[in-house]
Structure 1
Amino acid sequence: MMKTKDKVGLYPEDGPMPGELPSRGKESQELSSGSELLALRAESQVLGRKLQEARDRAERAEEELAHARAEIEARVRERSEQLSRANEILRQEMLERRKDEERILQQNEFLNHVLESLTHPFYVLDANDYTIKMTNSAAIQGELTPGITCSPSPIIVISPVTASSMAARCR
């Protein structure tokens, strides 16, 4: 029959363990074996508790890690959705802006065609500094071109202005 010391890997020829008294005969060995068994059992229980505590800590750490990972993934999904919505809004705004720019270009072309079709001189003045900002080709024939400043007296145009009457007001 195998002795307890043999089961746990302790052999009598190794001598006493630290803190043990050297054994003196069979009776002493049996007593020592019983107390050693109790000590081993107690130590085994302590090690078992420590092992369980380590497993519990590892499980909690894994749960916390899984929770953190899920939270990060949720945040990433939320941010991705926000970015997708913002990108769609931006695309719509860019499309609207392009349409608005195209409308403005068409309106400017139309206005230029209308102004150029007039046979009498046409002037657009800046109300702040009375500079000529725009003219048609009939006005250019009268030698008043953009950049010339007119007198600050009120200019009210009810009927077509001749180049000579406009020239009298501008320098």
Structure 2
Amino acid sequence: RLDPAIADVCASQGAGLILMHSRGSFAEMATYDHAQYNDVVAETVRELVGSVERAESRGVERDRIVIDPGLGFSKLPEQNYRVVAGLPVLASLGLPVMLGPSRKRFLGKGTGQPADERDHATAALCVAARSLGASLFRVHAVRLVKEALDIAVEIESA
């Protein structure tokens, strides 16, 4: 959305493309300036579908696209939790879903912890999000989250 030429580069090089939802400029996306939604899940999905369609129209193959609902970007804390709860809708698009929840401000509102103490909350969110359709995670505490996800897989496989 912010750099349409990136789709051309990805298409010409056969590279993958992660499309993250946000609203506003680079300077505004980490604020609440554009966090007005009637239905945050439906609007996030609709806007991501538009990004996917634009990327495909520029030649990016669908199997090279990953979608990210943009947790922490242009969303109030409670809206981020609604987006996570609505991941099955996003996953129904048939594209891999990535999340970058690591140490985000909305986790601090939920736990009262400062950023450097939100890794356990991040791991909990990743386990829940995996069960709702997310498959890729960008995190700071890789080992902690991997172990939490490994246990979730063991439980699901039992």
In which range does the TM-score fall when normalised by the shorter chain?
A: under 0.3
Query: Looking at CA atoms only, which structure, 1 or 2, has the larger radius of gyration?
Result: 1
Q: Report which structure shows greater RCO (CA 8 Å, sep ≥6).
A: 2
> Per residue, is there more helix in 1 or in 2?
1
